[in-house]
Amino acid sequence: MQTRNNDKLQQEIDALQRPLIGRRFMSWLLFVLVLLGALVLPVTASVWPALFQPVEQQTAGLRKTPEQAQVLNTAYMRASPTALGLDAQWTPGPLSSAHQPFGLDCKSCHSKPFQPVQDRDCLACHRDIGNHVATKIAAMPALHETRCATCHRDHQGAEGLVSQNRRYIGSGCASCHGDLESKLPGTQVGNVKDFAKAHPQFRVQVAVSNTTLVRLRQGGAPLSQPNTLKFPHDLHLAKAGIAGPDGKTRLDCSSCHKPNASGVGFEPVKMARDCQSCHALAFEPALSQRQVPHGSVPEVLSTLREFYGYVNSSKVPLDTPPANGPVFTVRPGMPASAPASFVQGPGDARARAAAAATELFEKTSCVVCHVVSRVPGPGKAGTPGADLPQWKIAPVTPPHAWLPKASFDHASHKQTPCGDCHLAAKSSKSSDVLMPTIKECRDCHVGSEPVVGKVKSDCAMCHGYHMPDLHTAPAAAHMKSVKP
């Protein structure tokens, strides 16, 4: 009896001392939970994303106020766009700061599970990033077969990508460019090792026609760019000034070159804003206020045809020239008596308009700045000037980048006088190329070794790796760059 009781007691004690659940069972449970949380759920989420759609889509059928849905939704989205953030457990390290805002959405870069990052995923956001060189220019495997992720390894901390770029620019550029001439036989790109010691003279891009750009190396004879717009810088920048409507006027660079919004470059020079105050497009000295518009040939001819038709029929009183001072009419500096009046000229209104047009196009105005040629008529149908003689203004060379393969910001050089880099004040022809050479840059910029009083400059200061201009954004849409 005693032993029996003891046995029973012992059994109870044993039962109490035995763990509630077997150790084996515990291990299995933990294993399954981890498997579920760290593998099955994330994998399910990536294979059947529909199961983890934002709450709003799943609950669209249920009656819920939009506010309720919204709160649930944003909470859910913030937690994780994929699998409630469970896949974040796999991250090998923090992403770069630029990528952290969407860092929980692993799929934005890892679109294929268990595979290396695809360039496609990066390009989905970095759509406009160009390659270093277009394949048709140089088909080097090292350039075209290297994955984005080979150079940009993420998960190396907030500053990771930036410091990788810096490291690459410190040594990666010269590994190719130090001896490119032998790596890529026939290339026109010179070897580069360091800006101060081994960097070729620049190749300046000039327009040889209105549709074709070529790049010409500096260092030999001065470069020129054919230009149908006539403009002598020297004459206009004369220290003593130049004749203007209010007497001698001193012009400086900023009279015509206004910084653009970013300050990197300049607004294009405009006739109406920068020239017309002196080069008035007046055509009839007896009515000296009147000017033709600075526009197309039909616009100019129509204005003249209408003007002489009108004064012919309505007997407008003529101006008497002011008693003192020159009347500022056509070509600045010209004596006031020089231009002829056509109001009382021979013939009918058409003949007077034709004579005035010939004077304007060929002698006093357009021809001063443009290459003007006579063309057989009649003019543009339906315009009043169609029955007058006709002219053609040679198209003006459009503005374009001069050194497209490097960056240059005028705003960060505004302490330096313009004339240190551009010899404009000595230039008498618009065909002179006024771009600085490497010598001017080296006055201040040295290479990667610091020099007291100079600006230490590695490749990254002036160049990037990705060169979008080769691929997406040519200088001017209709201009093509060709090899000389």
- Reading the block at residue 339, the tokens are 């231009």
Binder to ligand HEC among 64, 155, 363, 380 (CB under 6 A)? 155
Looking only at residues 318 through 347 of this chain, which bind ligand HEC when binding is defined by CB under 6 A?
332-333
The pattern of x and - marking residues 205 through 224 that bind ligand HEC according to CB under 6 A reads --------------------
Kindly tell me the burial class for residue 289, based on how many C-beta atoms sit within 10 Å of its own C-beta (0-12, 13-18, 19 or more): exposed
Residue 13 burial (CB count, 10 A): 10
Q: Does residue 375 touch ligand HEC according to CB under 6 A? A: no
Q: Which is closer to ligand HEC, CB of 74 or CB of 135? A: 135
Binder to ligand HEC among 290, 363, 463, 471 (CB under 6 A)? 463
DSSP code string of 46-92: HH-GGGG--HHHHTTTS---HHHHHHHHHHHHHH-SSGGGGGGGG-S
Name the minimum Å distance from CB 351 to ligand HEC: 19
Q: Which is closer to ligand HEC, CB of 409 or CB of 449? A: 409
How far apart are the C-alpha atoms of 86 and 74, rounded to whole Å?
Answer: 17
The pattern of x and - marking residues 86 through 105 that bind ligand HEC according to CB under 6 A reads -xx-xxx--xx-xx--xxx-
Q: Which is closer to ligand HEC, CB of 12 or CB of 179? A: 179
The pattern of x and - marking residues 182 through 201 that bind ligand HEC according to CB under 6 A reads --x--x-xx-x-xx---xx-
Binder to ligand HEC among 38, 41, 43, 133 (CB under 6 A)? 133
Name the minimum Å distance from CB 408 to ligand HEC: 4
Q: Which is closer to ligand HEC, CB of 64 or CB of 153? A: 153
Quick one: how far is CA 340 from the chain centroid?
48
Binder to ligand HEC among 46, 365, 383, 390 (CB under 6 A)? 365
Looking only at residues 165 through 184 of this chain, which bind ligand HEC when binding is defined by CB under 6 A?
165, 168-169, 172-177, 184
SS3 assignment, position 245: coil
Backbone phi, psi, residue 375, to 5°: -130, 150
Backbone phi, psi, residue 142, to 5°: -60, -25
- Reading the block at residue 233, the tokens are 């810088």
Binder to ligand HEC among 55, 148, 207, 349 (CB under 6 A)? 148
Looking only at residues 231 through 270 of this chain, which bind ligand HEC when binding is defined by CB under 6 A?
231-233, 235-237, 242-244, 249, 251-253, 255-257, 265-266, 269-270
How far apart are the C-alpha atoms of 408 and 280, rounded to whole Å?
Answer: 35
Stretch that binds ligand HEC, among 48-56, 312-320, 378-386, 421-429 (CB under 6 A): 421-429
Kindly tell me the burial class for residue 18, based on how many C-beta atoms sit within 10 Å of its own C-beta (0-12, 13-18, 19 or more): exposed
How far apart are the C-alpha atoms of 249 and 55, rounded to whole Å?
Answer: 73
Q: Is the dihedral of CA 382, 385, 388, 391 positive or negative?
A: negative
Binder to ligand HEC among 464, 474, 476, 479 (CB under 6 A)? 464
Looking only at residues 34 through 53 of this chain, which bind ligand HEC when binding is defined by CB under 6 A?
none
How far apart are the C-alpha atoms of 465 and 449, rounded to whole Å?
Answer: 21
Binder to ligand HEC among 336, 340, 386, 424 (CB under 6 A)? 424
In this structure, what DSSP letter does residue 134 have? -
Q: Does residue 373 touch ligand HEC according to CB under 6 A? A: no
